[in-house]
Amino acid sequence: MQSTLEAAYAKVNLFLGVTEKRSDGFHEISSVMHSLSLCDRLTVGVESSVLPEIRLRVFPKSNIPEDQRNLVWRAAAAFLERVRIPLSVDLTLEKIIPSEAGLGGGSSDAAATLRALNRLLGAPLSTEELLLLAASLGSDVPFCLLGGTALCTGRGERIVPISEPLSLYAVVCKGSEGVSTPKAYRALDLLYSDFSDPSLVPMQSADGMAELCRRRDSLSVAKGLYNVFESVVYPSCPEAMAQRDRLLSLGADGALLSGSGSAVFGLFSDLERARKAAERLDGFAFVAESAPASLRYPD
């Protein structure tokens, strides 16, 4: 059996706005995503088989499913169907990224599955083909496939890379609260009947944040953080709001809810300051740096 180990990097949203609800039930977003060194670890093994077979094990043991309900399993199935090669696929997932955190853990795991299988089989799919497959699995999977820093629009699947490397130091923390992404979107729909509401227009824009990233202006990035979900998540997740405030009191240049939550992150000017802050936080607190881009962006 051939096997490989793949890192599945977490993502944070440096900027996340919602511009409209679409007729298909999804939402149009405008976001700048950034991948961090916090990661799950996925071991993928393949061998020839008369009939395709997928086996998934998740550690540590939890309520995370190990069958077709898991996005990793579905990513492997979609890949095998696309390449039409009969294989036995063995997947072992070590979970580090918290669930229901807005850190893209499930999406990143699925993306790592696609990358690993494509590499093991000698790259039968191009980057563009992998991106289409990723988009069929979930809105954040295309970004997680590529990693780095990018401006993401549409459901999140339209990606404009920010090629200049952005170096950030972050403390990611999450308490006992969890947030369901569909429920968070429903809360937004209830609060804002029209996403053109002036209260939803921040001082910064996603394009503006992307430009700050291109300039590698990490301090301005930290000061310009924005996430529309803070308006609906914090009232039901007071622990997350307290963690954001705590990060700021510990010297973060900026702090924000990630995605639909409930994880929050703070950006720091240097790694040592980030480490000292993390030592003073309770619960899950991870010191992270910027992660490398996973694949080259298409030309």
pLDDT digits (tens, 9 = 90+) for 215-236: 999 999 999 999 999 989 999 9
pTM of the model: 0.92
Q: What's the average model confidence in pLDDT over 85-109?
A: 94
Among 100, 76, 140, 105, which Cα is nearest to 9's? 105
Per the document, the length of the chain is 299
| Residue pointed to by tokens 């977490």 | 10
Q: What's the average model confidence in pLDDT over 240-247?
A: 96
Region for 71 from its dihedrals, namely left if φ exceeds 0, alpha if ψ lies in -120 to 50, beta otherwise: alpha
7: helix, strand or coil: strand
Per the annotation, the verdict on 11 as an active-site residue is yes
Residues of the chain with CATH 3.30.70.890: 169-289
Residue ranges of E strands in the chain: 2-21, 27-48, 53-59, 87-94, 149-154, 158-161, 169-174, 226-227, 254-257, 264-268, 284-289
pLDDT over 90 (residue 249): yes
Peptide bond into 193 cis (omega under 30): no
For position 298, what pLDDT does the model report?
47
Rounded Cα distance, 79 and 85, in Å: 9
Rounded Cα distance, 29 and 205, in Å: 12
Query: Could you tell me the pLDDT band of residue 299, with boundaries at 50, 70 and 90?
Result: very low
Residues of the chain with CATH 3.30.230.10: 2-161
Burial 171-191 (b: 16+ CB within 10 A, else e): bbbbbebebebeebbebbeee
pLDDT in tens, 47-56: 988 888 999 9
* Listed ranges 10-24, 154-168, 175-189, 272-286; the one with the highest mean pLDDT: 272-286
Among residues 40, 90, 140, 253, the one annotated as catalytic is 140
Contact 278, 169 (CB under 8 A): no
For position 251, what pLDDT does the model report?
96
CATH number of 169-289: 3.30.70.890
Q: What tokens does 211 get?
A: 């430009």
Q: What's the average model confidence in pLDDT over 182-211?
A: 76
Contact 86, 49 (CB under 8 A): yes
Per the annotation, the verdict on 61 as an active-site residue is no
Contact 227, 13 (CB under 8 A): yes
For position 131, what pLDDT does the model report?
95
Please give the helix or strand (H or E) that residue 220 lies within, else none. Answer: helix 218-223
Question: What does DSSP assign to residue 61?
Answer: -
Rounded Cα distance, 251 and 253, in Å: 6
Other beta carbons within 10 angstroms of residue 79's beta carbon come to 25
Among residues 11, 90, 95, 253, the one annotated as catalytic is 11
Across the chain, what does the average pLDDT equal?
Answer: 91
For position 261, what pLDDT does the model report?
87
At the topology level, CATH places domain 2-161 in Ribosomal Protein S5; domain 2 (3.30.230)
Rounded Cα distance, 263 and 174, in Å: 4
Angle, alpha carbons 177-183-187 (nearest 5°): 105
pLDDT over 50 (residue 12): yes
100: helix, strand or coil: coil
